[in-house]
Structure 1
Amino acid sequence: MDLYLLESMSIILITAVVILLIFNKLKLPSMIGLFLTGIVLGQFITSTSLITEISELGVIFLLFIIGLEFSIEKFSSIKHYAIVGGLLQVVITTLLVMLLSLCAMPLNRAIFLGFLVCFSSTAIVMKLIQKKQLTHTLQGRVTLGILIFQDIAVILVLLLTPLLGGESINLALLPQILTKLVALVLIILVVGLFIVPRALKEAAKTKNRDLFMLLVLFICLGTTFGTSAIGISPELGAFIAGLIISNTDYAHQTLGYIQPFQDVFMSIFLISIGLMIDVNYFIQNILLIVAFSIVVLLLKFVATLITGEVLKIPIRTTIAISILLSQIGEFSFVLAGVGITHGLLTNELFTMFLAVSIITMSSTPFLQNITPRIVDLFKRIPYFQVDEELSMIKEEEVQSQILENHVIIVGFGVNGKNLSRACYHYHIPYVIVDLNPLIVEKEKALGLPIIYGNASNESVLKELKINDANCIIIATSNYESTLTTIDAARRLNPDIHIIVRTRYLKNVDEVYAAGADVVIPEEFETSIVIFTKLMDYYNKDVDEITDTIDTLRSDNYYEFRSVAPDELTTKLNENLTDLMVESLYVKDKKQLDEYEFKKHDLTVTAIIRDNKTILGISPKFELIEDDLILFTGSQENIEFFLKDYYNVDGGI
């Protein structure tokens, strides 16, 4: 392995960790810290080509995730803002920048510079919207619509860039190009509609995380390679790969698997941008850089303000949106790199652009904090009728599927099915998540609100609207997954009520410590059910049964968390009067009717085998070694039975 690469990556990572820790203490955006990491390290690392190549994977994964998160439903609910608002914002910004730039550069470069400036940072803006809980406001919806349009538009601009750089379309090659495009569309349709969904389903059925993740990575990188091989940009290939998976039931789980890769490589990408900054140039031209940054912020603010006026959005909301979208986005860095390749940017202009971009991105959180002051300035202008509060989105424009104050049911086994029926009966909004693709496919066809995924994955929990949920019920049998789900749910929504079903009493304390509010151990509850049925069979008083059960459940099962099965009968007997519960271990294979329980007027209530409780036993039930028989009867009858059959070894 290349030791230089290891050395460089180690230095980069430890520097980033230190700087991000400081930024976290100061409550400053991580993105600025990553830029600063690159700027600092740029003074010591001489060769950055290898790091830049690695960082390009961050762009690939980012576009893959954008395709993955894109859905027709999401787009259709905000199509007016996305199409009209997005188009206006991009076109107006590009025109304003182009007109100002024409005095210093030719038309093609001026247009390209307009394209560079018109895109905003999806990463920064969406984090701010989520942090301020603006998702369902008019401000959040319009902003999201414009960002979606920009994400799609950047693909088109990447395709147009070679033409702006002077490359001409050879008409003789047009049939060949069209053939490639038609073939690509056909392949995408076949792969997207038939092959990928089937492959993902088969991988999901195995419940093998590594297999599923490797398949997803192959789809992402394989599609990217395929489009590159026929002369189409790898960025478009990554977007198409995400788009293919977005129409399957496995999009949310895929997002969870791919997100860590995207986060790591995108961080390296942002650091690599900082590495490109010439500190000496930055210091020498600081006033010019700041001036250009202010011009960019003002131009984008004005362009979005005009867009808001056309859409007839209240001015206060328009101002807030204009501030949110005033920075240059991360896609512009990708576009700038392509522009250099095609001679649309000089090295000096590229350095200036990077510096201006970093300043505009860094200023966004601070500008958002002073939004009220900017609104006050607009109040002094007679033309603007400033509303007093940020407008909420109109009721008819809100998606009917928005979940609020709902219950999340994790696992759709017997418990999950019963819980969903109860929620449906009492009109409690709920959503289900399960890792069995066959169950998800079947129940979704029946109209149940269910998605495929692992609830321990943050991306899946976000899709389940964990932030708006009141309660999450974890009814799966995987103990490790239960603990990670509790941790993720508590981090994403500290106030959510967490109810957990666990199999064994010994796990109760650990589950409570992990953050659960209520823990129901299946092992102990089974004995409670057996006891209740037994008491009902003997016509015991309901109040007496209830009091006994309450006693058994007191102190959160404290007495029973480390109780062996044979000790459980002793504790049950402490609460009973004329009826005894007893247990015996089996030493040899026999049928149940070979033991004369009926002759001694005793009732077998259950068999415990390998920590599993077996009910509804027939007389011909086959017993095996180490089975534990639970039976009930009067003390006198039990003593006669034991006298006849109990041997010296303590087994039967």
Structure 2
Amino acid sequence: MEEFTLIADLAIIWSAALIAGYICIKAKQPAMAGYMLVGIAIGPHGLKLINQMDQIKVISEFGVAMLLFALGVDLSLRQIVSSAKKILLAGSTQMLLTIAASWWLASTIGLAPNIAAGFLFGCVCAISSSVIISKVLSERGETDSIHGQILIPLALVQDLSLVLIIPFLPVLQETANANYTDFLISAGKAALFLLAIIAGATKVVPHIISFSAKSNNRELFLLTLMVLCLSVALVSQQIGLSIALGAFLAGIMISESPYIHQALTDLMPLRDLFATVFFVSIGMLLDPRFIFSHTLEVLTFVLLLIIGKILIGTLSAFFATRNLRSAILVGVGLAQIGEFSFVLLSLGYDSKLISAAMYNLFFAGAVVTLIASPALMTLMPKLLKKFSALSHQRRTAGLSPTGTNTGGSNGSENDVGNQSESDEDEENVDALNDHVIVCGFGRIGKNVGHVLEAHHIPFIVIELNAGIMDDLAMRAIKHIYGDAVSPLVLDKAHVEKAACLVVTTPDPISTLAIINYAKRCNENIKIVARAHRTEDINAFRAAGASAVVQPEFEASIELTRLALQSLTRPLPEIQVALDRIKKQRYKLFWAQPEEEMRPAS
């Protein structure tokens, strides 16, 4: 029955992952950590339910290839090219500083006996996990947040740097007296491969995808995607790169097609299914006995790695955002080892650039960072919120009950999460009364602003995107450059005198902090908030929001309205039906009856 061993192993992996994932979701913890922990339990170093690791490694490599293929499809060459220069600079700075610091540390403590090992160790430490970053941001509804918009391009810079790093491996294997022929050959292959990717993405692949899509057969469309993915991945492996990197670049090629959304829809089930195998297999490869016998070394490595990457990531991100809170969240998001790091680690071990001891230490530490990273990304916003509240309490010891400053300093501009504009427009801002504060001027905020302008309602915008700030200045719209989570910024917008506060941020923790502070300063203020997730509606209402809007649900209401109109139903009848649906739907998430939510008369 040996021919069925692989099927049995997959059944065990998916069954164990199902149980672990369910427990983690119930405990409100990231499922990825559960997958890796259950991998330790069922693997050859645990209960030994699975021993055929060679087969599992093949499936795992396919899993990470599918993950990175889907990630590449969701990105695009245009997005990479159009990324702000300062974000590209921040990504390059983060990579170089992390490589240099890790190289120096490895050489100092004896982990790297030579320059080659030190450089490889630095490269392995510098790369973060695009998969974990994108998955955690997506689960938390923070993809469109300030730190989310910085984290993903930074992870892109790291992933693409692998194309530059891998050609150096042949040189690292040579002695000091050897020539650089192998390096030139590898670098030339990589350069030609990248040129082929760019040409294919713009000239060839869109036509192939279009031809397949016009067949109106989903099976053929999916087969086309898989053939493109595996073909590019195999070519990548043949020229000395990796299957995972090739799959990622194949995804970027497909991303230029107008059929990208259908491609993502068809890929998601495969991606999620085999991604589970990847995360479980990572746990299976970890030997807990090594951690127990080298506890001090592993913990020291993990702490130095996490702290170092947070500090360097925060410093690099600060160049792009000029906002300490967002920069810290970016640093925390980068504080783990990436899936491409395992590719580099394996290549280095096979090339005898690193020893078995260094390989085991790094692998153990890397898995620990992967398990800990989702929890850190979840915990840090809460810690920053508490720190900001304590800092504001100390700073406002001499303030009046309304929150206005009765004297003294206006607060430090180095407060976590705060970056406010200069005092040039203070007179205009101070003149505001019974105004509307719009937190965030993205797609939703702009629509709100247009309506307020049309009705001549005074309002002020709080925004952290420098590009949007330039547009606001040109249109002579009152604005403050800063993070609305910061009490100092809300004070400057005169939240104590405002009639209404509109919160458009998708981050639930930030939104809750804004609502809480606004209500403390002005109990009569009306607050309209956006909820990315339905479970946030109850919390926002309980905190004092007058109305909470969930964009996806509102979109379904509009679709229903248009559908009924197309059936020529009377408008009054349609409105009554929609009002009833809204009332019933949102009431499900209210902690108290509507009567109790009203302020006491």
TM-score normalised to structure 2 length: 0.63
Aligned residue runs from structure 1 range 328-343, under 5 A: 328-343=337-352
For residue 101 of structure 1, report the CA deviation from its aligned partner.
0.8
Which of the residues 386, 401, 406 maps onto 2:414?
A: 386
Partner of residue 29, structure 1: 30
Partner of 1:10: 11
C-alpha contact 1:68 1:243 (8 A) present in aligned 2:
yes
Q: 1:265 corresponds to which residue?
A: 274
Matches within 5 A, 1:226-265: 226-265=235-274
Evaluate the alpha carbon distance shift between residue 390 and residue 10 of structure 1 in structure 2; reply closer, same or farther with a 3 A threshold. Answer: farther
Partner SS state of residue 214, structure 2: helix
Q: How does 1:501-580 map to 2 (within 5 A)?
A: 520=564, 525=567
Equivalent pairs: percent with the same residue? 25
Change (3 A) 1:190 1:112: closer
Q: Compute the displacement of 1:226 (Å).
A: 2.9
Separation in structure 2 between the aligned mates of residue 220 and residue 275 of structure 1, nearest angstrom: 27
Residue 152 of structure 1 aligns with an amino acid whose one-letter code is: L
Q: Show the counterpart of 1:113.
A: 121
CA radius of gyration, larger in = 1
Instruction: Give the alignment's TM-score, normalised by structure 1.
Output: 0.58
Equivalent residue letter for 2:54 = S
- Residue type matched to 2:76 in 1? S
Describe the shift of the 1:49–1:62 C-alpha distance in structure 2 as closer, same or farther (beyond 3 A).
same
Out of 106, 112, 122, the position equivalent to 1:101 is 106
**Which of 160, 164, 169 is the matching residue for 2:172?**
164
For 1:150 and 1:18, the matched residues in 2 are separated by 33
Task: Provide the C-alpha distance between the structure 2 equivalents of 1:321 and 1:552, rounded to a whole number of angstroms.
Answer: 46
User: Residues 251-299 of structure 1, C-alpha deviation per residue, up to 9 Å, x if partnerless?
Assistant: 2221222232222222211211111111222222233322221111111
For 1:251 and 1:552, locate their aligned partners in 2 and report how far apart those are by CA, in whole Å: 35
Displacement of 1:311 after TM fit?
Answer: 5.0
Contact 2:348 2:354 in 1 (8 A): yes
Give secondary structure in 2 for the equivalent of 1:493. helix
Matched AA of 1:520: L
2:233–2:245: 8 Å Cα contact kept in structure 1? Answer: yes
C-alpha displacement of 1:39: 0.3
**Is the CA contact 1:165–1:339 (under 8 Å) kept in the aligned structure 2?**
no
Between 64-73 and 490-499, the greater mean CA deviation after superposition? 490-499
Q: CA 1:338/1:320 → structure 2, altered by over 3 Å: closer, same or farther?
A: same
2:286 counterpart residue number:
277
State the distance in 1 between where 2:380 and 2:4 align.
48
Check if 1:404 corresponds to 2:444.
yes
- Is the CA contact 1:82–1:149 (under 8 Å) kept in the aligned structure 2? no
Contact (CA 8 Å) 2:129, 2:338: kept in 1 or not?
yes
Number of matched pairs: 435
**Deviation for aligned residue 1:185:** 6.2
Q: What do the CA deviations read for 1:464-483 (whole angstroms, capped 9, x no partner)?
A: x9x9999xxxxxxxxxxxxx
2:369 to 360, 363, 372: 360
1:164-187 CA-to-partner distances (Å, cap 9, x unmatched) read 344898767799778866875675
CA deviation vs aligned residue, 1:119-145 (integer Å, no higher than 9, x gap): 122233234434554444443333233
Q: Secondary structure at the match of 1:2?
A: helix
Contact 1:82 1:145 in 2 (8 A): yes
What root-mean-square deviation, in Å, do the aligned CA atoms of Structure 1 and Structure 2 show?
Answer: 4.2
* 3-state secondary structure, aligned to 2:28: coil
Quick check: 171-180 or 336-345, which moved more?
A: 171-180
Q: Is the 8 A contact 1:324 1:364 kept in 2?
A: yes
Structure 2 CA distance, aligned partners of 1:280 and 1:215? 45
Q: Distance in 1 between matches of 2:137 and 2:164?
A: 26
Counterpart position of 2:485: none
Distance 1:208 1:219 in 2: 17
Match of 2:161 among 153, 163, 170: 153
Deviations 1:151-210 (A, max 9, x none): 211332233334334489876779977886687567556644444222221221121101
Aligned to 1:320: 329
Q: Which has the higher contact order (CA 8 A, sep 6+)?
A: 2
SS in 1 for 2:444: coil
Cα distance 1:238–1:492, how it changes in 2: closer, same or farther (>3 A)? farther
Does the CA contact (< 8 Å) of 2:336 and 2:370 recur in 1? Answer: yes
- 1:85-234 map, 5 Å: 85-103=90-108, 104=110, 105=112, 106-166=114-174, 184=193, 188=197, 191-234=200-243
Render the CA deviation track for 1:347-372: whole Å, top value 9, x for unaligned: 33222222212222332343342456
Counterpart position of 1:60 = 65
- Residue equivalent to 2:556: 497
The range that moved more, 86-95 or 172-181, is: 172-181
Give the 3 Å change call, closer, same or farther, for CA 337–318 of structure 1 in structure 2: same
Q: Which is worse superposed, 58-67 or 306-315?
A: 306-315
Instruction: Kindly indicate whether the alpha-carbon contact (under 8 Å) linking 1:314 and 1:387 is maintained by their aligned counterparts in 2.
Output: no
Paired letter, 1:336: L
Residues 1:316 and 1:257: Cα distance change in structure 2 (over 3 Å):
same
> Which stretch shows the higher mean deviation, 171-180 or 104-113?
171-180
CA distance in 1, matches of 2:132, 2:420: 22
Contact 1:138–1:391 (CA under 8 A) maintained in structure 2: no
Q: Provide Cα deviations, 1:196-244, integer angstroms capped at 9, x if missing partner.
A: 2222212211211011111111111112223434444333432332222
AA in 2 matched with 1:360: T
Whichever structure has more helix as a proportion of its residues is 2
Output the CA distance in 2 between the equivalents of 1:183 and 1:316: 41
Q: Unmatched 5+ residue regions in structure 2?
A: 395-411, 423-439, 448-453, 455-505, 509-528, 532-548, 579-601
Asked whether the 8 Å contact 2:163–2:241 carries over to 1, the reply is no
Equivalent AA in structure 2 for residue 109 of structure 1: A
**Shift of residue 320, structure 1, vs aligned partner:** 2.5
Aligned to 1:576: none
Alignment partners' CA distance in 2, 1:233 and 1:198 = 26
Return closer, same or farther for 1:171/1:72 CA change in 2, 3 Å cut-off: closer
